[in-house]
């Protein structure tokens, strides 16, 4: 459906989303089967933030932020706003005033596949943002789009109400219905990685810990002493 | 005209430029009609700097910084050096020694649509730079270009003597003859935004503050409750 | 040779590498004839680090970090791991666990023409990384590649045992057999630059210091007073 | 769901898809509300082809075409194969042999957000392809993915069984359930455009035909005679 | 000036423009001092066309072609329409209907730093186009821009009335007041190149024809027999 | 070694190179272990050409083609000229006059990781070119570089005298010492592919021909009937 604002979308369980958030983007992404990562094109405008929330989505026309304004009204405490455009766009669709509005509603941050501006002010406010660009270029408010429809960023599909986790490694999306199982496997992964970390810190090799020596041999990788190779 | 160094170019009024600088890139860009932004490709090598000055322009050959050396002599206190190349170039055309020379003349910073190097030293010196790349790749000094001719960056035209403002949001150019009117409209905008900030912080929506509800309706945007939509 | 792990590669002299490191990337690159710079596409994930070491190289399949695990075993104290892929790749091939393993062996850092993840943890560990991307996207361990073969990054050839210097300006490679002569010319350059810095800080122009006025004239560059030019 | 091959997916009505195909990509895209265009990154390897069919989707690992082989079995006459990868990839995942296999099953063409090779042979066979790259780089067959799951290309979601139309302007996707209504509006659009074409060929202006003069005035666009403008 | 349509702009002399056109883009660009080339990002949608004319410029908002419609009215026989956008845009801003309108006015072709669509129809019509992209993505008609103001493409400034030459090598702009002198130097260059072509076809080397042997020596280039080099 | 022209480099066997050429880029690349492909960034300026020869390499400064002139003298019948630059460059470093000179020496074509111009004339001459760009932008002849040193393109190392094969799929390099063994394995591959083509044309699936069903199962890929999946 085109040009709709979907109201009252069900959200992923807030408590589970908060627990997922603590585990971080890379862990959650791995745990759910190396899925849901929104790509290296979305970078944080600040260092060290890690947030999570439930997605409200906005689909805008390039150079036009009308639908972000419409999306604000659909946001509630615990949400994250996820914005993209119908064509690639780096314009500064979002700045301090919109962040003020979102912060007033308890929104935790912004993920935008376009540009943001007022980044000094946003950092000072402590409103975390992941964006495709920083740009002062202003936008108009003229063309219809949608709020709370499925959108696609970095080859992944984000549906309203999905869990979004964002940190220094980027942004991951977990489908709403999967957050419970994701938390379970992610916690198991964390436990396993803690063990691996100790083992590796003690000097054992990943080759042995993960049983990779046979794999190398099976794939025909040969060891050659320097000097015995031609080149 | 090709291969000229234009001397004695008139500059925008220094006092007005200083006052524009305080208002910041995004505000000035919006105030002059969403114009003059040099694009998201120019990024600061430091956080938190906001400077402004009058443009001395240099047009270089790719891989060659001869004309930057020629431009230094044309710079005076209160200027900003604006450099671009005749073809796209990421090489490190500028570093600590040139910054030392510019700082000695009271130049306030550099905007370069190419690469810079010695960025640790430049940050330590407090010499602010906006560039298209960071690159240690060195350049030669062989091919003629121009100083203080109109140049184009990010689709905008920069003329010598124009006002340049740069901060964490990027770089904006205000034509020399427009700085007075730009200051006036930018100040009006700041006043209006302060009011909007309070209103939005208090929870009023941009939809209402900017009268966007009618616009959405006029463009055929419909509200649909989740579950009543197909797909 | 394809799919080999070369063992026992000779390294550049550690003492000389350490002394080169102190001089920094831009200086070393210039000193050896503006060569060996691995390009502006490799950016540090941290600010202010400057390290140097001897290269262990790994050539991976895109989306696959099997050969990084094989490379760890070939690393020794004083090395830097240099990783690339057979096709362009931004996936997060390297993270905290691999860094733990390398740190346990005394490896000084990572240079990777692909993505890294766990960047918050890597910064906290103090394990310095230069990469083409930050990405949480996970990888598999399925496809053969090579360790300690010559690889190419940014149009430069890196051979195992070469010296690698990395700082805020990027990464430079000095061939193993050239580190001694590189140190000599780099030190001479540093001495000369210190002199130039003083001269330029005192207000002398590069045009005069480097004798560029004749060059400009010989290339037909003309001085024109503003207002006397057309256009 | 990860790592599944979905069998027996329902397809859009073949007769309707064929009629949509005749109308072309731009017309269909406009008719369904300027939606479904897979972006300018997918280019034809041949000139002048216009095809349409129902989507079989394959989601591959970068550098790995295992799932294309799995997808072939799910293809039937009238289908188009739509391939993407979990991370950006330009490798030559598809060539003459796979095309031979698809042609034997009556598949009409390929849309791939990655590379293809054997393009001379594919052109000679008359097997039409739209791809993100041409590349001879070979791939492995090692890592699991999925067939006939929803995929995302160019910010659009493609579901198995959707209608895909491709011509010199690129590729558009029409959701399976919308092909009937799309055909209706697209035909109306064609009729209207034929009328417009005649009118415009006769010299009437779009400004008048589309009633844009009031719009320009309402947005503050002014007419100024050359010479009366400052600049 | 923002949001203006400038009427009655003076054009470069049509006869001179026609003669320049015959000499081709590369020759004209070289002749005027290696200037005015609009960059490799503008590619022809057809092979073998070479056209020239006088520029009518349009500056559009991204995703919006309103100002192209306004520009059509300002076009006359012998013109070329030159379009760009205030932010980077690949959308299909121009297609068959606009081409029909332009052709009816005697306009010779289109140069657009954005996308075009209906490329099969444009080729069939014989309406030549140079564009930054081919894209079916449609646009709106909502936001003000300008017609016949100076615009910047590929780092070059194009003013209304300038001469534009386009062929398989791309697009060059010659300032209106320079077409006469450009024709003179370009013809001289053609004559000289015809002589060079014969000489080189006869086996003489460019090294000798252009006197480059001394240059190589002066720059320290040494001849080394294979086998005598280390490496 | 910097700034050298290496003379008298040994070439791969001409007869073997000619036979390799007939087999094409993709086949040769696969046969030698999926190696040596110079990447999808090098595209032919013509359709349907397939050539092969022995590499003469030139390493230029960006915006400067001095070393191409030096390289011409080192070329002999059966060679291909391979050009790259020390920094990324799209300028038109090569055109009709240089092609005339190379053709007079029996050189078979050009591979250039930069731009070319006069493409209409080059096509008319039948001088085949693979390049990273088409650009009329002219270059200077000022800065030293090298001829017949190892260069790197697309992450591959090309040494003078290596075999270069180029066709519509791009360009592959085979090390000089490997051309004999490459021919042997490539011919075996061709024979095997002819058999596969017949089998696949007859309707057998690659899943069976290559034994991939077990692989899918081993990697956990499941078959699910449409409608039985959740989505």
When CB atoms are compared, the residue of F62, F140, F143 closest to B89 is F62
Is there a contact between A159 and A176 (Cβ–Cβ < 8 Å)? yes
When CB atoms are compared, the residue of E98, E101, E134 closest to D169 is E134
Summarised one tens digit per residue, pLDDT across range E140-181 is 999 999 999 999 999 999 999 999 999 999 999 999 999 999
CB < 8 Å to B146, chain C: 221
CB < 8 Å to D4, chain F: 221-224, 229
- As a whole number, mean pLDDT of residues D71-87 equals 98
Summarised one tens digit per residue, pLDDT across range F67-95 is 999 999 999 999 999 999 999 999 999 99
Whether A134 and B224 lie within 8 Å, measured CB to CB: no
Is there a contact between D100 and F201 (Cβ–Cβ < 8 Å)? yes
- Spatial separation of the C-alpha atoms in residues B23 and A58, rounded to whole Å: 30
Kindly tell me if the per-residue pLDDT of E1 is higher than 60: no
| Structure-token pair, residue C185 | 């010319």
pLDDT of residue B231: 47
b/e F18-50 (16+ beta carbons within 10 angstroms → b): ebbbebbbbbbbbbbbbbbbbbbbbbbbbeebb
CB < 8 Å to D7, chain F: 223-226
pLDDT of residue B46: 98
CB atoms within 10 A of CB E78: 17
Whether D155 and A3 lie within 8 Å, measured CB to CB: no
pLDDT band at E228 (very low <50, low <70, confident <90, very high): confident
- Spatial separation of the C-alpha atoms in residues C95 and C117, rounded to whole Å: 5
Residue-by-residue pLDDT tens, chain F, 231 positions: 589 999 999 999 999 999 999 999 999 999 999 999 999 999 999 999 999 999 999 999 999 999 999 999 999 999 999 999 999 999 999 999 999 999 999 999 999 999 999 999 999 999 999 999 999 999 999 999 999 999 999 999 999 999 999 999 999 999 999 999 999 999 999 999 999 999 999 999 999 999 999 999 999 999 999 988 654
Q: Which residues of B touch D (CB under 8 A)?
A: 177, 230-231
Whether D150 and A156 lie within 8 Å, measured CB to CB: no
- CA F120-F124-F130 angle, 5° bins: 65
Mean pLDDT of chain B: 97
pLDDT of residue E189: 94
Distance from CA of C59 to the nearest CA of B (A): 24
pLDDT of residue D66: 98
Summarised one tens digit per residue, pLDDT across range B119-168 is 999 999 999 999 999 999 999 999 999 999 999 999 999 999 999 999 99
- As a whole number, mean pLDDT of residues E5-12 equals 98
Of all residues in chain B, the percent with pLDDT exceeding 70 is 98
H or E element at residue A80: strand A79-85
- Spatial separation of the C-alpha atoms in residues F129 and F48, rounded to whole Å: 12
Whether E137 and A91 lie within 8 Å, measured CB to CB: no
CB atoms within 10 A of CB A87: 26
CB < 8 Å to E174, chain B: none
Whether D86 and A34 lie within 8 Å, measured CB to CB: yes
Q: How far is CA C96 from CA A19, C109, E116, in A?
A: 21, 12, 47
pLDDT of residue D231: 46
Low-confidence residues in chain C, pLDDT < 50? 231
H or E element at residue D113: strand D110-116
pLDDT of residue D111: 98
CB < 8 Å to C136, chain A: 25-26, 29, 37, 169-170, 172
pLDDT of residue E83: 98
| Structure-token pair, residue E90 | 């690949």
Whether A97 and B197 lie within 8 Å, measured CB to CB: yes
Q: Which residues of B touch F (CB under 8 A)?
A: 61-64, 86-91, 137, 140, 142-143
Helix ranges (DSSP H) in chain E: 14-23, 25-31, 66-74, 96-104, 119-125, 179-201, 206-209, 213-218
When CB atoms are compared, the residue of D62, D90, D137 closest to C63 is D62
pLDDT band at A164 (very low <50, low <70, confident <90, very high): very high
When CB atoms are compared, the residue of F167, F205, F223 closest to D5 is F223
Distance from CA of B208 to the nearest CA of D (A): 21
Mean pLDDT of chain E: 97
Distance from CA of D204 to the nearest CA of C (A): 37
pTM for this one? Answer: 0.97
Whether D87 and C63 lie within 8 Å, measured CB to CB: yes
| Structure-token pair, residue E193 | 């190149």
pLDDT of residue F231: 47
A219: alpha, beta or left? (left if phi > 0; alpha if psi -120 to 50) = alpha
pLDDT of residue E229: 65
The residue among A143, A173, A165 whose CA lies nearest residue A63 is A143
CB < 8 Å to C35, chain F: 2
Whether F203 and D73 lie within 8 Å, measured CB to CB: no
DSSP string, C146-177: EESS-EEETTEEE-TT-EEEEETTEEEEE-GG
CB < 8 Å to F86, chain B: 63, 137
CB < 8 Å to A152, chain D: 152, 155-157
- As a whole number, mean pLDDT of residues D103-108 equals 98
Summarised one tens digit per residue, pLDDT across range C106-150 is 999 999 999 999 999 999 999 999 999 999 999 999 999 999 999
Distance from CA of F177 to the nearest CA of E (A): 15
CB < 8 Å to C66, chain D: none
DSSP string, B48-66: S--EEEEEEEEEE-TTB-H
pLDDT of residue B1: 56
CB < 8 Å to B177, chain D: 230
pLDDT of residue F230: 55
- Spatial separation of the C-alpha atoms in residues E205 and F100, rounded to whole Å: 10
Summarised one tens digit per residue, pLDDT across range D173-191 is 999 999 999 999 999 999 9
- Looking up tokens 């090692």 gives D142
- As a whole number, mean pLDDT of residues B45-60 equals 98
Whether C221 and B134 lie within 8 Å, measured CB to CB: no
| Structure-token pair, residue A213 | 């020596």
Looking at residue C37, what DSSP letter applies? B
pLDDT band at D229 (very low <50, low <70, confident <90, very high): low
pLDDT of residue B176: 98
Any chains having at least 3 CB pairs less than 8 A from chain A are B, C, D, E
Kindly tell me if the per-residue pLDDT of A231 is higher than 50: no
- Spatial separation of the C-alpha atoms in residues A95 and A117, rounded to whole Å: 5
- CA F190-F192-F196 angle, 5° bins: 110
With CA atoms as reference, the chain C residue closest to F154 would be: C155
pLDDT of residue F169: 98
Mean pLDDT of chain D: 97
Distance from CA of E23 to the nearest CA of F (A): 11
Q: Which residues are CB-contacts of B146 (< 8 A; sequence separation ≥ 6)?
A: B1, B2, B3, B4, B5, B6, B58, B59, B67, C221
Rounded to two decimals, the ipTM of the complex is 0.96
- Residues counted in chain C: 231
pLDDT of residue A1: 56
pLDDT of residue E161: 98
């Amino acid at each position: 459906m085109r040009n709709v604002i979907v109201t009252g979308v069900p959200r992923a369980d807030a408590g589970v989303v908060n627990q997922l958030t603590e585990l971080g983007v890379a862990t959650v992404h791995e745990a759910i089967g190396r899925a849901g990562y929104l790509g290296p094109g979305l970078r944080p405008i600040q260092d060290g933030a890690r947030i999570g929330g439930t997605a409200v989505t906005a689909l805008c026309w390039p150079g036009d932020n009308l639908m972000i304004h419409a999306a604000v009204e659909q946001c509630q405490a615990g949400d994250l706003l996820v914005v993209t455009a119908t064509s690639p766009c780096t314009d500064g669709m979002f700045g301090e005033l919109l962040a003020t509005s979102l912060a007033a509603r308890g929104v935790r941050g912004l993920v935008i596949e376009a540009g943001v501006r007022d980044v000094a002010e946003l950092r000072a406010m402590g409103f975390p943002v992941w964006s495709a660009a920083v740009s002062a270029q202003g936008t108009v408010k003229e063309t219809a789009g949608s709020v709370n429809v499925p959108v696609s960023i970095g080859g992944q599909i984000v549906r309203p109400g999905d869990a979004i986790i964002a940190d220094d490694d980027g942004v991951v999306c977990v489908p709403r219905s999967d957050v419970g199982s994701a938390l379970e496997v992610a916690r198991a992964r964390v436990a396993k990685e803690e063990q691996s970390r100790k083992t590796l810190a003690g000097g054992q090799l990943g080759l042995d810990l993960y049983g990779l020596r046979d794999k190398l041999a099976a794939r025909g990788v040969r060891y050659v002493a320097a000097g015995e190779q031609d080149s």
